[in-house]
Amino acid sequence: MTKRILYISLLNLLFLASLPASAQEAYFTNGFRISELTANEAIIWTRLCGQEKPNPVVHERKPKVFRHPLNFNEDMPVDEMDGAVRGAEGYVRAIVEGAQSTETSDWFPAEAKEDYTVHIPLEGLIPNTKYTIRLEGKVQQSDEDLAVLTGSFRTPPADTVTAPVSFTTSTCQYFWSYDDSVAGFKTYQSMVEMAPDFFVQTGD
């Protein structure tokens, strides 16, 4: 059975539309996700960014459940858009360490035509095993100063193994309904504290 894992923070849920970046530094502001996870394969999703933090939220909101912003121009440049993160062209690779080996991927390009996102496939994983990830990003091929982001995930048991599973889910998140001015939504911290096996985002 295929299990999909999406590790999502507020930064992962920010607007992904970007303009071509001119920044000379790279960041992993949008974090990363482990997706399409099976007992033996996975895909690392990440996005190379040109700024360390998202733009501040400056627009006031309507006092309703879906708190639409007041006087918000959806055609404004990304550099001016509340909560947005500018992308950066460059290169990303992953160093993945498991119980028996350490694998280093090739450098994958982060390009404007893909909104600076990168998908790194992982194969030959061992079922029910914890893996640690070190993502490295840079703007130029010759750069020695790297953006670094670390994390971990666990593969599910083999399809023939019966095991208990816990997961959390959410649906229809609307950016402007945030209830935490820094982390975005309090519910995600509550989910983290539950230590679920995976998370399912159903909806937009």
Give tens-digit pLDDT for 26-67.
999 999 999 999 999 999 999 999 999 999 999 999 988 788
Percentage of the residues of the chain whose pLDDT score is greater than 70: 88
Cα-Cα-Cα-Cα dihedral sign, residues 141, 143, 147, 150: positive
Q: What angle do CA 7, 12, 16 make, to 5 degrees?
A: 145
Average pLDDT of the residues of the chain? 86
Tell me the pLDDT tens digit for each residue of 100-146: 889 999 999 999 999 999 999 999 999 999 999 999 999 988 888 89
> Distance between CA atoms of 81 and 123, rounded to whole angstroms?
38
Cα angle 104, 30, 23; round to 5 = 85
pLDDT at 204: 64
Q: What domains are defined for the chain?
A: 11-202 (2.60.40.380)
Query: Mean pLDDT across the stretch 178-196?
Result: 90
Q: Are 39 and 159 in contact (CB under 8 A)?
A: yes
pTM, two decimal places: 0.82
The CA distances from residue 107 to 47, 94, 150, 189, in Å, are 14, 8, 17, 32
In total, the chain counts a number of residues equal to: 204
